[in-house]
Amino acid sequence: MITIKACTIEDVDTLRDISIETFTETFEADNDPAHLAAYLERAYNVPQLRAELANPDSTFFFAMLDGELAGYMKGNANNAQTEAMGEGAFELERIYVRRTFQGSGVGKALYDQAIQRANELNKREIWLGVWEHNEKALAFYKRHGFVQTGSHTFYMGDDAQTDLIMAKPLRP
């Protein structure tokens, strides 16, 4: 059974651990180890994660499968969004599932949580950035009605990469 739990500041160490684990699992095969290490240190250090958890416009959720931590997601509204997409938009910034739980419905449960959160905030659109070479994620988002609306540069350490901006309307 999949359950979703909101993260709090007390969860920062667990959040750091699963963030590093899942990001590494997802991207280590396709990236230079030095660039990956630099990104992990910048994005997932405890002070950075504490600041993100304390931001009232950002929300984190853990997904538990049969009581075991299986994945997490981060959503951003308003000024917490990584791109200026307006007050009517909600950003699904991170959604990661531990490798051993992929294919179990955890990703869909986290995605559904993001949609629920966006609707609770009365947002009209949900959007995200996804690496242009992450075929598995691109297929997932396309299946759920997202379309590419642009792109932006994402830095993995010093390596400039292209993320596709994908969006989906939630209401007219």
Mind listing the pLDDT tens digit for each residue in 130-157?
999 999 899 999 999 999 999 999 999 8
CA–CA gap between residue 156 and residue 28 (Å, rounded):
11
Structure confidence by residue, pLDDT tens digits, 2-55 = 999 999 999 999 999 999 999 999 999 999 999 999 999 999 999 999 999 999
Is position 141 annotated as part of the catalytic site? yes
Q: Catalytic: which of 39, 72, 96, 141?
A: 141
CB atoms within 10 A of CB 124: 14
Range 2-125: architecture per CATH: 3-Layer(aba) Sandwich (3.40)
For residue 117, how far is the Cα from the chain centroid? 13
- Residue corresponding to tokens 């490798």: 99
CA–CA gap between residue 15 and residue 10 (Å, rounded):
9
Structure confidence by residue, pLDDT tens digits, 75-96 = 999 999 999 999 999 999 999 9
pLDDT level of residue 128 (50, 70, 90 thresholds) = very high
CA–CA gap between residue 144 and residue 150 (Å, rounded):
18
The answer on pLDDT for 172 being more than 80 is no
